[in-house]
Each structure stands twice: as structure tokens, then as C-alpha cells.
Amino acid sequence: MRKGLNNAGIKQLVYCLLFAALFALLEYHLFINYFMPLEQAPLFAHIYPYHVFFVLPIFLTTSFVISSTNNFAGLRTNPLRSIARAWQVMFALMVLEDIMYFVAAGTTIPSRSWTCLQMGCVEIGFGSVPKWYFVATAIESSIFGASNLASIWQRLSFTFGSIVSSLGRLI
């Protein structure tokens, strides 16, 4: 079996990019015109009701839909793996949408922006990179690694079980 991006992986990547671009445009125009004039108190740290009650449910739902587009049979056979993939897609969506937001605004990420207030930023030549991008990418990669290890473990246990079964028939 060939490793790497297959058609399903490419399709999921395209869906992620499309959602990120569309949501970023929507958020940029809504945020500037409607949410920014409202005075909101943060729920905790720099997280506002807008993030918890509007953005998070949309991202959770979209990530589950995107991760299961080609895997409806997998939902029945391995629901934990499907849930892990949905979380993996959600972290990718968060980073992609945040980048697309600043593309829609026509600017680089300034170090004083909301996204840099969460964990700080790494200053580079043309702007800033929020540190939470690295954390989200690490979580996404670890979920990917864990789900692959789980499938390797399933294959090994099946192979080991087949060997033991064959030996049992010989004895």
C-alpha cells in the first residue's frame, strides 16, 4: 500500500483550505463590522464568548464532517480513530483559518494582534508567527502519529494472532 497523500487526503486538504478561506473572509467582515463595536468581557484569558459559542461549534462540526467525508464506514468500525481524525483536522483548520484571516485583512500578523496574545509570538523578518501555531501543529502531528501507531498495532496483533492460530492448528 502506498503511503502519502491519497485522493481522500488531497480532498480533505482542499476542503480545509476552502473552509479556512471562506470562514476567514466571513469572520473578517463580520468581526470588523459587527463584533468589534460590541464591548465583550473575556470568559477567561483572551477567550471571548464569540470564540466559545460561535467559532468553536462551527469548527468542531466542520472538522468532523471533513474528517469523515471518505470514512463513513470507518465511523462504524473504529469511532475513536474517526474522532481523533476530527480533532486533527480541527487543529489544522484553526491554524489555516487564522492565517487566512490576515490574508483577507491584507496584512501580516502583528505582534500586538489578538492571536499573539494567547501564547506570544516569534518575530521573523516580515511579521510574527504565533507560538500557538507550533503547539497546534505538534498536537496535530502527535494525533496523526498515534492513529498510525494504532493501525500498525492492529496489523501486528492480527499478524501475531494469525501466527498463533496457525501454530495451534499444527500442534
Alpha-carbon span 85 to 140, nearest angstrom: 9
pTM of the model: 0.71
Mean per-residue pLDDT for 44-61? 83
In a domain, 42, yes or no: yes
Is the CB of residue 137 less than 8 Å from the CB of residue 95? Answer: yes
What pLDDT is stored for residue 156 in this prediction?
Answer: 57
pLDDT value of position 3: 52
Whole-angstrom Cα Rg for the chain: 21
Q: How confident is the model over 150-158, as a mean pLDDT? A: 58
- Of the candidates 114, 117, 59, the residue with the CA atom closest to the CA atom of residue 88: 59
DSSP 8-class letter at 44? B
pLDDT, one tens digit per residue, over 64-74 is 888 877 655 45
Q: What is the mean pLDDT of residues 8-28?
A: 85
Under 8 Å between Cβ of 103 and 141? no
Helix/strand/coil for 79: helix
1 assigned to some structural domain: no
Sorting pLDDT into bands at 50, 70 and 90, what band is 5?
low
Alpha carbons within 13 A on the beta-carbon side of 160: 6
164 pLDDT more than 80 = no
> If pLDDT is split at 50, 70 and 90, which confidence band does 58 have?
very high
| Total domains, the chain | 1
Percent of the chain at pLDDT exceeding 70? 69
> Is residue 47 in some structural domain?
yes
- Domain residue limits at 78: 7-170
pLDDT at position 26 over 70: yes
Q: Tell me if 123 is assigned to some domain.
A: yes
Residue 59 domain-assigned?
yes
97-144 residue pLDDT tens: 888 888 888 888 887 887 887 788 888 877 788 888 888 888 887 876
> Is residue 1 scored above 80 in pLDDT?
no
107 within a domain of the structure (yes/no): yes
Distance of CA 163 to the CA centre of its chain: 38
Strands, E assignment, 52-155: 121-124, 127-130
Residue 2 in domain: no
Is residue 124, in this structure, part of any structural domain at all? yes
Three-class DSSP category at 70: coil
Residue 152's pLDDT band (boundaries 50, 70, 90)?
low
CA distance 122 to 80: 35
